[in-house]
Amino acid sequence: MKKNFVGAAALVTACFVLIAATGKAQVAPAKYPSNKTVKDYPHTGEPPMPEVHAILDEPLRDVSICKGGDGAYYLTGTLGPQFMTDNEGIKLWRSKDLKNWQPLGLVWGIDRDGTWQKQWTEKNGQKRRALWAPEIHYLKGNYYIAYCITGLGTGLLRSTSGKPEGPYTSVNKPDAPLTKGIDASLFQDDDGTVYFLSGSGMISKMNSDMTALVTKPVQLTCVPDSDIDHHHPSRPCTQLNHVGFEGVFMFKRNGRYYLSCAERYFERYHCMTAEATNIMGPYSARYVSVPYAGHNTFFQDDKGQWISTLFGNDADAPIQKHAGLVPVEFDKDGHIRPKVN
């Protein structure tokens, strides 16, 4: 996409002028040089990556993996080929070694199992009804899948059999979206409290049986990043303190909360991460933790090795719209980076 060039510094200044003049932040989209491609941008702040290869033949976006109660790994993601507008629902794969994956089939289908999810919506004249970003979690001895439906909102499914292949049903009654927005996720804290996250870092506390939200969604924020080239082109000036613009995920290690989101960093689709010692923040300045791995999940294997998923959503990504894995490590300051050796 070609856009007229407006210097990042000038645009940031304009943001603050708008705020000062009106008392309210107004939308001022970022603009990029029209004579450069993605590969012309510097790799400022991007750590090196190991080789990444697809682990499944089936095209997938927004890849999620969790370790189940049986010790196996379970994988899901947004189904193609019409990722953005129309797909079946949720498929699941199982593996014991993260290399060989057994398909478990369609564990939840929009037409077969849906209620409110069956509704078609329209955006820019195009009809759509797709299930995006299913994310599987094993919590409290059962399997849950968080997801969203285009134009309708987020939802949460629970296995009625206690098995990863389901069948699945909505946790809330009456069956309705849990929140507005996209890209749902779950996080369980050390005390057993489960939080429901979505979008660019919206968070709510769930009740003990995970059937409802008990707090209104609030936006988690980090130290503002004023470089416009580090943000999605549609980023309003008021959102420079978001970790990213979509694809939220959270985990905890050594008492530290890691909040990750996808961001268009120099037009690449990176995983950005910020950290805090309190779940509600304040969160640190964000950084590129896993290049090209926007909208990912983190998990540990049998040996305790931390791993990030990756699906590839920009021209420079090592794979394109397929499931991949990136081993990660933590530097002396506890920050995430790819494990190259």
Q: Whole-angstrom Cα distance, residue 137 to residue 117?
A: 21
Note if 191 is an active site residue.
no
Residue 239 lies in a domain: yes
- 3-state helix/strand/coil string of 66-104: EECCCCCEEEEEEECCCCCCECCEEEEEEECCCCCCEEE
Tell me which of 46, 113, 229, 246 is the catalytic residue.
Answer: 246
Residue 3 lies in a domain: no
Tell me which of 62, 183, 225, 229 is the catalytic residue.
Answer: 62
Q: Whole-angstrom Cα distance, residue 170 to residue 114?
A: 9
Q: Which of 55, 131, 57 is nearest to 100 (CA)?
A: 55
Residue 146 lies in a domain: yes
> What is the residue type of 140?
K
Q: Whole-angstrom Cα distance, residue 282 to residue 296?
A: 22
Peptide bond before residue 47 is cis, with ω within 30 degrees of 0: no
Q: Enter the pTM of the model.
A: 0.88
User: What's the total number of domains in the chain?
Assistant: 1
Residue 177 lies in a domain: yes
Residue 2 lies in a domain: no
Q: Whole-angstrom Cα distance, residue 187 to residue 137?
A: 9
**pLDDT per residue as tens, the chain (341 positions):** 333 333 333 333 434 333 333 333 333 332 323 233 334 434 567 999 999 999 999 999 999 999 999 999 999 999 999 999 999 999 999 999 999 999 999 999 999 999 999 999 999 999 999 999 999 999 999 999 999 999 999 999 999 999 999 999 999 999 999 999 999 999 999 999 999 999 999 999 999 999 999 999 999 999 999 888 899 988 777 789 999 999 999 999 999 999 999 999 988 999 999 999 999 999 999 999 999 999 999 999 999 999 999 999 999 999 999 999 999 999 999 999 999 98
Q: Which residue has the tokens 């309190």?
A: 278
What SS3 class is residue 39?
A: helix
Q: Whole-angstrom Cα distance, residue 38 to residue 236?
A: 22
> What is the residue type of 305?
Q
CATH number of the domain residue 50 falls in: 2.115.10.20
> Can you give the length of the chain in residues?
341
Note if 122 is an active site residue.
no
Q: Whole-angstrom Cα distance, residue 58 to residue 118?
A: 24
Q: Which of 25, 31, 16, 2 is nearest to 229 (CA)?
A: 31
Which residues constitute the domain of residue 237? 8-338
- The burial class, CB within 10 Å (0-12 / 13-18 / 19+), for 278 is exposed
